A and B are shown apart, each in its own frame.
Chain A
Amino acid sequence: MKRSVGLALGLGFAFLVFVSWKYWAGNDVTGDGMLTTLVIGITLAAIYAMYATGLVVVYTTTGIFNFAQGAVGAFGAFLYWELHVNQGWPTLVAILVVVGVVAPLIGVILDILIMRKLQGAPLVVQLMVTVGLMLFFLGITANIWKPDTPRSVTAFYHPDGFDIGPIVVTWHRLITVLVAIAVAVGLRFLLFKTRMGIAMRAVVDNRGLAALNGARPGVISATAWAIGCSLGALAGILIAPGTEFNPNNLNIVIIIAFAAAAFGQLKSLPLTLVGCLVLGVTRAYNQQFLSFGSDFPKSNEAIAPILLFIVVLALPQARLEVGRVVRNVRRVERHTHWWEAVIGMLVLFAIVYLWSDGWNQVTQNRWTLAMYTSIIVLSLVPLTGWAGQVNFAPLAFAGFGAFLFQKLAGDGSNALWLFVVALLCAPLGALVALPASRLKGLYLGLASMAFAHGMAVLFFPHPKTFKESSGKEAFADLRLFGHAFDERREYLLFLVIVFGLILIGLVKLRTSRYGRRWVALNDSAAASATIGINVRETTVLVYAISAAIAGFGGALMAVSRGTVNELDYELILGLPYVLLAAVGGIAYPIAALFAGVSTVLFFIVKDKWDYVIFAALPVVGPGLMAIGMVANQRGAVYEMGRGFAGILPWRSDAREEMSRENAMKRDPEIGDLGLTRAFTNDTVIALDRTLGIIEDVAVPGGYGRWRPAAVAMVGDGNGHATNGHPPNNHGGAPAREEVGHGAP
C-alpha cells in the first residue's frame, strides 16, 4: 500500500514539475501571486467540497453513488435564477426555497421512488439509473430554461469585498468559504453527535442489523438523499456567478467532485476535503502561473481527471468480496446459436435492402447514424453485458479510432486500416482499465468517465488531433479493394454487413471459453480467483477488446459523418450510448441494434412533432429509460425476444415457457398447489380469493405485514424461501438471497 501511494505521489509531482517547466507563463513568483492563488484556490475548494461531501454522505449511507449530483446542482442554480433574477425574490428567500425546500424534497422523492429499490441491485444497474437521472435533470433544465436566452447570476454583494494586502476578497468568496466551513462542521456534528447521525453511520455497516436495533433505514436514507441534493443545489448556486451559466457546464463540475471523493476513498470526509483543497489550489495555480496557449485550451478542466487517475493508482488493492452473489436467477439462460444470429442478420440485411430503396438523404443519414451507433454499442456487449464492468467512455474510444483512422488511412480511406485502428485502440482500453481494475467496480466507472472527460478537454481540442483550421477533420468515402462507397445506400448496407459480422462474432465468443470466463467473473470475482483466473488480467483484456470494437466503430462513425470536431466527443454525448445499451439488455448483442435504432427514433420524434416537451428528447429519453431499469433490469430486447421466439418453428422451449407462465396467471385450483404450481405469496392470495376466506386482500403488499411467518414458510418451488416479503415489491429487482432458504 505504501509503495503505491509513494508511486502515485512521485508520479503526480513529476507531472506537475514537468508541466510547470514546459508551460510556465513567465509571471514572477511573488508573495502577492501566491496569495491570490491561495485565495482563489480555497474558494474553489469550498464549492467542490459541497458537491463532494454530498456525494460521500449519500454513498456511505445508502451505498449508491449519485452521478446526478452535479445535474441536481445545475437544476438548483437555474431554479435560483428563476426565483431570484426572473421573479425578483430576495436572495435569501430564493436560496432558502431552493436549498431548504425544493432540493431536499427532490432527494426524498428520489430515495422513495427509485433509490430504495436499487439496494442490492447489480452495480451496472445502480450506475445506469443515476447516470440516467443526470441526463434527465440536464434535459429538463435545458427544456424549462431554453438555452437561447442568455442568463447570468451575479455574485452576492457584487462587486464589493475587502482587501487582504493587494488582492480583493469579494464578499461572495468569503461567504462561500464560510458556508463551506459551516457545512463541514454541521456534517461532523450531525454524524457524530446526533442520534440520526449515529444511525446513519450504523446503517453503512449493516442495514439489517441497524434496523433490528431500532434505526429506521427508510428515514435515514431519505435524510441522506435530502442532504446530498441540498448540498448539490447549494454548490450549484454558489458556483454559478463564477462560471458559464449553462446546464452542461454546471453539471460537468461533478467530475471534480468525483476526483475529490476518490481522494477520500469515497468514505472519508476529511480526506475528501483535502482532495478539494488540492484540486482548487491546483486549478488556481494553473490559472495564475501556467499558460498552455492554443495547445490545451481547456487545461483547467483536465486537472480533475488527471488527479482522479493518480488517486486510483495510489489506492490500495481492493479485496475480492465474498457473499455478494445474487442468487435468484429465475430462468434458464439460453444461448443464441451462431446460425440463428446468421439468419437474423440476413433478415436485417434484407429488410434494410428492400426498405432503403428510394429513401431520401435525410432518412438514409438517420439509418446510417443508427448503424454506426449500433456498432459502437456492440463494444459494450462483452464488457458490460457479460463481464459486468462499466465503461462510460465508448465515445472517447470512438473518437480515438477516428483520429487514428485519419492519420493512418488519410484520404485513401482504405477500409483495411480499420483493423489496425482496432488493434491500436485496444492498448488504450487496457491503459484505462489497468489501474482501476485493482479496485471496486465503481472506480472503473469513475475512471472511464474521467478518461472520457479528459480526452474531451485535452486530446480532441488539441490542434494536431483534428487538424484543419476550423478544428474539423474531413474524412473521405471509405474504399475497400479499390471500390469506393460513395453512394449512401450502398454504404449503409455495408454498415449493416459490418454490424452483422461483429454480432455473429460476439455470439460465437459468448459460448467460447472467453465468454464463459467473463460471465463467471461477473457472477463472482472471488470464486473466479479461487479457480485460478487472474481477475485483473481478465478485466483488462475484456476492456481492451471493448475499446478495439469502439475504435473500429468510431472510425466508421467519422467516415459516415464526413467531418468531425472536438465537440462531437464530449462526455455527455457518449452517455446515451451506454444507457441505451443497458436499457436494451446488453447481455444480448442485439441490444446494440435497439440502442442504435432508439437513438434515431428520438431524433425522428423530436423533428416530427415540434413540441416543447420533445426538445431535449435525445438526452431525456435515454435518461428516463435508464431510470426505468429500476423496474426491469433484464432489458428491452429480452422482453421483445420472448414474444418473438414463440413464432420460430424450432423454439418449442419458448412456447412451453410462455404457456407455463400463462397457466400461472389464472387462479389456482386447490389440487394444483405444490404439484403443478409453485406455492408462492401470489398463490396464497389467489387461493384465499378462490375460497372466499378474506374479502379485502386486493392489496398484495398488505400481506407480508400481518402474516409474515406463514408466508415465509412457503418456498417458490425452487428451494428458495420467499422471505416473507410481499411479492414483487422490488419491481423485479433481484433481492439478495437471505438466510433460511430451505431445501424442498
Chain B
Amino acid sequence: MALLEAREITMRFGGVQALTDAAVSVEPATITGLIGPNGAGKTTLFNVVTGLLPPTAGRVLLEGDDITGLGVHTRARRGIARTFQRLEAFNRLSARDNVLVAAEARRRWDRSGPHPRQATDEILERVGISAIADITVGTLPTGTARLVEVARALATGPKVLLLDEPSSGLNEHETHELAILLRQLCADGLAILLVEHDMAFVMGLCHVIYVLDFGSIIAVGTPVEVQADHAVRAAYLGDEGAAA
C-alpha cells in the first residue's frame, strides 16, 4: 500500500481540463519526481493533493484512508506538508518565527516531539538557515525564502513532503546542499514528491519519476527509463525530436 495515492484525478476549470485521470503514488523513504512542460498540471495536482482545490473527479488516499473530502489543515495534521512554487512564506515574520508557527501548530495534534522552540532550532540547523533565522523573510532573496518554506513544512512533522520547484532561485552550491538534505530526509523515512524543472537535479535525486503532459501521466519509471521513453521525448522535444 502506497503512503500517498492520487487516483484518477480529473480537474476541470470551466472549459479547461487541467488534469485527466492523473494517478500518482508515493512510497515512504522514496523521492518521487513529477516533471512535465509548463502548464502540464503539476501544481494543480499538488493543490488537489493538499486540499486547496477540490478535484472534479478522483480520490486522494493517505495510508489507505480516503482524504478527498478533508480540509487543508486536517490533511496537514495527518502528515501532508508542502512548499509553494510562488512563495507563500509569512513575509512579516522572521525565518525562525515562520518555522516556529508551524512547530507550535503541530503541538495542537502531536505532543510527542520536542518543545517547539527546540524543534525549530534543530530544523533551522538542518536546513542550513540558522544564520538568517532572525531576518524578516520578506527581505530575504527568493531562494533563501524557499528554504524557509522547506523548514516550515518540515516543522509540521510530515509523513510526505511536497516540494514545488524547490531549487528555483537557488545557486549551484545551494542546490547541491538541498539535494543532500533531501537525501537525508528520505533516508530517515520521509516520502518526498517534488516538481522540478532542473533536469540534472531531478534525474540525480529521484527514485521514481512521473511525467505529466497536458494533464495526463504519459510515463512512469526510474530516471533512466523515463529519459528513454518516446512519449516523454515527444512531449519535451516535439514529435520530430522523438523520431530522431
Tell me the A residues contacting B by CB distance below 8 Å. Answer: 319-320, 322-323, 325-333, 513, 516-517, 519-520, 522-524, 526-535, 718-719, 741, 743-744
Contacts and interface: CB of A to CB of B under 8 A. Distances in A.
Contact of B139 (A329, A527, A533, A534): A329
18 contacts: A319-B52, A322-B86, A332-B135, A333-B94, A516-B100, A516-B104, A517-B101, A519-B90, A519-B92, A520-B98, A524-B90, A527-B88, A528-B101, A529-B72, A530-B82, A718-B139, A718-B140, A744-B141
Given A332-B135, A529-B71, A327 B156 contact: no
Contact of A741 (B137, B142, B153): B142
Contacts of A527: 84, 88-90, 149, 152
Contacts of B92: 329, 333, 519, 522-523
B136 A329 contact: yes
B163 to A, nearest CB: 12
A322 B90 CA distance: 13
A532 B89 contact: no
B237 interface: no
A327 B91 contact: yes
A544 B25 CA distance: 42
A320 B51 CA distance: 10
Tell which of B51, B102, B140, B171 has the most Cβ of chain A within 10 Å.
Answer: B102
Given A532-B73, A532-B105, A322 B93 contact: no
A434 to B, nearest CB: 16
Nearest to B106: A532
A7 to B, nearest CB: 18
A322 B88 contact: yes
B77 interface: yes
Residue with the highest number of chain B CB atoms closer than 10 Å, among A319, A331, A519, A529:
A529
A14 to B, nearest CB: 29
Nearest to A524: B88
User: Which 9 interchain pairs have the tightest Cβ spacing?
Assistant: A329-B138, A719-B141, A529-B72, A532-B76, A527-B88, A531-B102, A523-B90, A524-B88, A520-B90
A320 B88 CA distance: 12
* Secondary structure type dominating chain A contacts: loop
Given A320-B52, A333-B136, A719-B143, 18 more contacts: A325-B86, A327-B91, A328-B138, A329-B92, A331-B136, A517-B105, A520-B93, A523-B89, A523-B91, A526-B84, A530-B72, A530-B80, A530-B81, A531-B101, A718-B141, A719-B140, A743-B142, A743-B171
B27 interface: no
A719 B139 CA distance: 9
Contact of A531 (B76, B135, B142): B76
Contacts of A528: 73, 101
A529 B51 CA distance: 10
B57 interface: no
A326 B102 contact: no
B213 interface: no
Nearest to A718: B139
Contacts of A741: 142
Contacts of B152: 527, 531
Nearest to B108: A532
A718 B97 CA distance: 20
A325 B87 contact: yes
Contacts, number: 134
B127 to A, nearest CB: 15
A522 B80 CA distance: 22
A744 B170 CA distance: 10
Contact of A533 (B73, B94, B143, B171): B73
B172 to A, nearest CB: 11
| Chain A CB within 10 Å, residue with most, of B53, B86, B137, B140 | B86
B105 A531 contact: yes
Given A532-B106, A743-B143, A744-B141, A319 B88 contact: no
Contact of B136 (A332, A513, A520, A744): A332
B140 to A, nearest CB: 8
A529 B76 contact: yes
B109 interface: yes
B104 A322 contact: no
Given A320-B52, A320-B72, A744-B141, A533 B105 contact: yes
B222 interface: no
Nearest to A317: B71
Contacts of B116: 513
Nearest to B170: A743
Contacts of A744: 141
A526 B105 contact: no
A530 B139 contact: no
A542 to B, nearest CB: 15
B81 A531 contact: yes
B29 to A, nearest CB: 22
A331 B94 CA distance: 11
